[in-house]
């Protein structure tokens, strides 16, 4: 009897002990997540307030008070991580702690740096890691600051413009000589990055520092490819397939770089006259509302700051949270720098709003209430709705006018293939023994984009991400393949969206948007798609474009991938 009693005491006593341990672990995690949530809210409010250039947030709380409370919250969370109980958590609780610790390390340390970026999220966070990484970070910040300044005040024919406005006008300006002056004026910004292409330019020094910092590790480009389950070699083959297919739709002759934008800008010229600066914001709200995503209800905020925002971006102003059974909505912020409307700026605005409605749909515990673990996935889903503007049916429904499918597709893919070319440039410029950046870009642009060589200009520096976010253009380039595949599946599951579809946003929110860091993006995509991502949907869509002067349908296997080109005298294309 004594033995039986002892066994009963041991067995019955173990249940409450395990329950007590579980409750204790839940209590530890709950305290940490509460502190983390407070730190995140104050950090995000500070970053948004500084980016807006205001003395207080939209609720009237002063920047000084936000900074003081942020410092206290940052230290309280830091102290929480040092409690012994936090180190004893296991399973999902341990993953939650590790996720919060990583975000805490990336958040500005009030003892080491000013809080929040002045211009864009690419500048956020304090430098960390090795001495080589800190030197890379320091030089990137310096170059980007000069680039932002150089790109914001560019005088052309007595008119003060910025980089985005000039790029938009290149596709709509009829006067070819004026287009050339616009394009050459951008050299003011390019020179802040690479000078006149000297071997010891700041960008050349940055490449050397990156090689040192990345030695023996995984490069950002390889890491982004791995997010899709690709090697960097296979990712490069995807890029080349897209670029070769695009080149097969172009004439054999090369055009000047200031004319390539115009060649692909027929849709922007015709439809852009209907799109004033005010109207693109109204149309953006209207389109998403027809998809079941009411911007006002979702709490999305906008700040259009011409001259202060060189690269449009979306960020958290506040994360959402559960209060009992009720969800307190997020406060996504979209920052833009538009002086004019037009189709290109509408495209970008719809993309940034795509980010905003994505994060507004996240329903996760505080530790996982963040951007997903894959930038490729994040950029891809931001384009799910945006790309519909290149379908004539959408144009008629929302603009009352449309252009031919051929012109729409060229407008759609002109930006995508440029991103592919920039991604290919990054893959290759960071390799040992690579040609100088200007020569490398000139060869890529001539071979795949049909652009005449201008190696005297560093016009590859048209994208700021090349400076301070290495590899990030791969997220757009590879993300285009993901977007095409997911758009095809979303149309099958939730229906077409050209004329609006209120089922769409609830459907994609449940299937793709709601997870944050709760689940790996690769698993979310595979479950939605039913298989790994394939490049076939994008390549098939590209082949809807006919080559000028030829009556052609889908290429035969023999003609697929052909690239016709005419090299100018004295220019030799590189062998790849």
Distance (Å, rounded) from C-alpha 531 to C-alpha 525? 8
User: Cα(242)–Cα(208) distance, rounded to whole angstroms?
Assistant: 30
Interior CA angle at 318 toward 375 and 378, to 5°? 15
Dmax over Cα atoms in the chain, in whole Å? Answer: 103
Euclidean distance between CA atoms 522 and 511, whole angstroms: 13
Q: Is pTM, for the whole model, over 0.75?
A: yes
Q: Residue 22 sits in which domain range?
A: 2-107
Q: Confirm whether 362 is domain-assigned.
A: yes
Instruction: Check whether residue 31 and residue 152 sit in a common domain.
Output: no
- Buried b or exposed e, range 69-98, using 16+ CB within 10 angstroms: bbbebbeebeebeeeeebeebeeebeebbe
Please tell me whether residues 349 and 429 are part of one structural domain: no
Written in H, E and C, the secondary structure of 314-382 is: EEECCCCEEECCEEECCCEEEEECCCCCCHHHHHHHHHHHHHHHHHHCCCCCHHHCCCCCCHHHHHHHH
301-304 and 332-336 strand pairing: parallel
Q: Could you tell me if residue 441 is inside a domain? A: yes
In a domain, 508, yes or no: yes
d(CA 491, CA 356) in angstroms, rounded, equals: 21
Domain membership of residue 253 (yes or no) is no
The pLDDT value recorded for residue 546 is 81
How far apart, in whole angstroms, are the C-alpha atoms of residue 98 and residue 178? 55
- List alpha helices for 195-273, DSSP H: 202-214, 220-227, 232-247, 257-263, 266-272
Cα–Cα distances in angstroms (integers) from residue 75 to residues 40, 46, 96, 110, 195, in the given order: 12, 16, 19, 9, 43
7 and 77 part of one domain: yes
* Tens of pLDDT, residue by residue, the chain (576 residues): 444 444 334 433 444 545 555 676 788 899 999 999 999 999 999 999 999 999 999 999 999 999 999 999 999 999 999 888 888 889 999 999 999 999 999 898 887 655 544 333 333 333 446 888 899 999 999 999 999 999 988 999 989 998 888 988 998 899 999 999 999 999 999 999 999 999 999 999 999 999 999 998 899 999 989 888 889 999 999 999 999 999 999 999 999 999 999 999 899 899 988 999 999 999 999 999 999 999 999 999 999 999 888 789 999 998 887 777 777 888 999 999 998 899 989 999 999 999 999 999 999 999 999 999 998 899 999 999 999 999 999 999 999 999 999 999 999 999 899 999 999 999 999 999 999 999 999 999 999 999 999 999 999 999 889 998 999 899 899 999 999 999 999 999 999 999 999 999 999 999 999 999 999 999 999 999 999 899 999 999 999 998 665 544 433 333 333 333 333 333 323 322
CA distances from 562 to 179, 420, 541 (A): 30, 18, 17
Q: What angle do CA 264, 311, 160 make, to 5 degrees?
A: 75
Q: What is the tens place of the pLDDT at every residue in 181-227?
A: 999 999 999 999 999 999 999 999 999 999 999 998 899 999 989 88
Total residue length of the chain: 576
Could you say which DSSP state residue 56 is in?
A: B
CA distance 173 to 332: 35
For 358-377, the pLDDT digits (tens) are 999 999 999 999 999 998 89
pLDDT of residue 11: 38
Residue 247 located in a structural domain: no
For strands 154-156 and 159-161, give the pairing.
antiparallel
Q: Are residues 489 and 355 in the same domain?
A: yes
Q: Could you tell me if 495 and 399 lie in one domain? A: yes
Quote the CA–CA distance of 479 and 273 in Å, as a whole number. 30
Which CATH number belongs to the domain containing residue 349 in this structure?
1.10.1370.40
Q: According to the model, what pLDDT value does residue 320 have?
A: 83
Q: How many domains does the chain have?
A: 3
Same domain, 142 and 172: yes
Query: Where a domain ends, among 534, 549, 571?
Result: 534
Do residues 325 and 451 share a domain? Answer: no
Q: How far apart are the first and last CA of the chain?
A: 84
Q: Do the domain assignments include residue 380?
A: yes
Kindly state whether residue 34 falls inside one of the protein's structural domains: yes
Q: Are residues 279 and 373 in the same domain?
A: yes
Is residue 236 one of the residues assigned to a domain? Answer: no
- Residue 313's DSSP bridge partners are 335
One domain for residues 148 and 36: no
Tell me whether residue 134 is exposed, middle or buried, using C-beta atoms within 10 angstroms of its C-beta: 0 to 12, 13 to 18, 19 or more: middle
423: CB partners within 8 A, 6+ apart: 221, 239, 473, 474, 476, 477, 478
The pLDDT score that the predictor gives to residue 208 is 95
For 191, 430, 502, the CA distances from 194, given in Å and listed in that order, are: 5, 15, 48
Could you tell me the two tokens for 284? Answer: 């953006």
Regarding whether 354 and 306 lie in a shared domain, the answer is: yes
- β partners of residue 575: none
**CA–CA separation, 121 and 47 (whole Å):** 9
Q: In the listed set 515, 534, 553, which residue is the last one of a domain according to the structure?
A: 534
- By C-alpha distance, which of 347, 341, 313 is closest to 418? 347
Q: Are residues 407 and 444 in the same domain?
A: no
Helix axes of 131-152 and 202-214: crossing angle, nearest 10 degrees: 150
**Sheet-wide strand order for 332-336:** 301-304, 332-336, 313-316
| Claim to verify: residue 390 and residue 495 sit in the same structural domain | yes
Looking at residue 197, its pLDDT comes to 94
């Amino acid at each position: 009897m004594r033995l039986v009693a002892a066994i009963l005491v041991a067995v019955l006593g173990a249940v409450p002990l395990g329950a007590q341990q579980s409750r204790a672990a839940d209590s530890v995690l709950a305290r940490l997540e509460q502190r983390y949530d407070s730190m995140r809210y104050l950090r995000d409010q500070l970053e948004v307030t500084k980016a807006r250039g205001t003395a207080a947030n939209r609720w009237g709380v002063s920047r000084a008070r936000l900074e003081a409370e942020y410092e206290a919250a940052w230290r309280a969370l830091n102290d929480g991580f040092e409690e012994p109980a936090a180190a004893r958590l296991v399973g999902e609780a341990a993953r939650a702690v590790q996720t919060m610790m990583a975000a805490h390390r990336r958040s500005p340390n009030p003892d080491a740096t000013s809080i929040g970026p002045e211009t864009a999220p690419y500048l956020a966070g304090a430098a960390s890691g090795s001495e080589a990484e800190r030197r890379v970070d320091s030089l990137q910040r310096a170059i980007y600051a000069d680039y932002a300044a150089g790109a914001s005040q560019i005088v052309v024919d007595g008119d003060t413009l910025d980089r985005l406005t000039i790029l938009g006008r290149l596709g709509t300006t009829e006067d070819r000589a004026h287009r050339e002056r616009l394009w050459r004026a951008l050299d003011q910004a390019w020179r802040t990055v690479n000078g006149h292409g000297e071997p010891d330019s700041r960008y050349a020094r940055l490449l050397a520092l990156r090689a040192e910092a990345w030695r023996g590790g995984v490069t950002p480009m390889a890491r982004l490819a791995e997010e899709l389950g690709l090697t960097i070699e296979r990712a490069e083959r995807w890029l080349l397939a897209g670029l070769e297919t695009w080149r097969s739709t172009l004439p054999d002759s090369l055009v000047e770089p200031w004319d390539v934008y115009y060649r692909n800008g027929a849709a922007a010229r015709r439809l852009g006259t209907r799109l004033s600066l005010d109207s693109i914001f109204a149309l953006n709200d209207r389109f998403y509302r027809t998809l079941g995503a009411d911007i006002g209800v979702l709490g999305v905020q906008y700040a259009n700051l011409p001259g202060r925002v060189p690269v449009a971006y979306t960020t958290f102003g506040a994360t959402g949270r559960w209060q009992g059974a009720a969800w307190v909505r997020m406060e996504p912020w979209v920052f833009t720098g538009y002086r004019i409307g037009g189709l290109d700026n509408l495209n970008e605005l719809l993309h940034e709003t795509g980010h905003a409605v994505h994060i507004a749909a996240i329903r996760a515990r505080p530790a996982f209430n963040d951007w997903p673990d894959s930038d490729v996935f994040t950029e891809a889903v931001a384009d799910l709705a945006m790309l519909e503007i290149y379908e004539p049916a959408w144009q008629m429904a929302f603009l009352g006018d449309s252009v031919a499918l051929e012109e729409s597709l060229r407008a759609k893919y002109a930006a995508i293939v440029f991103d592919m070319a920039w991604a290919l440039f990054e893959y290759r410029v960071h390799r040992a023994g690579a040609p100088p950046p200007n020569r490398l870009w000139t060869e890529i642009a001539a071979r795949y984009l049909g652009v005449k060589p201008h190696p005297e200009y560093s016009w590859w520096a048209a994208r700021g991400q090349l400076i301070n976010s290495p590899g990030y253009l791969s997220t757009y380039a590879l993300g285009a393949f993901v977007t095409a595949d997911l758009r095809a599946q979303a149309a099958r599951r939730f229906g077409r969206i050209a004329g609006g579809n209120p089922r769409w946003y609830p459907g994609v929110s449940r299937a793709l948007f709601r997870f944050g860091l709760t689940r790996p993006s690769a698993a979310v995509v595979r479950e939605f798609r039913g298989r790994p991502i394939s490049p076939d949907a994008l390549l098939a869509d590209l082949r809807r474009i006919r080559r000028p002067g030829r009556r052609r349908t889908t290429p035969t296997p023999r003609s697929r991938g052909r690239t016709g080109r005419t090299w100018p005298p004295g220019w030799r294309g590189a062998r790849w």
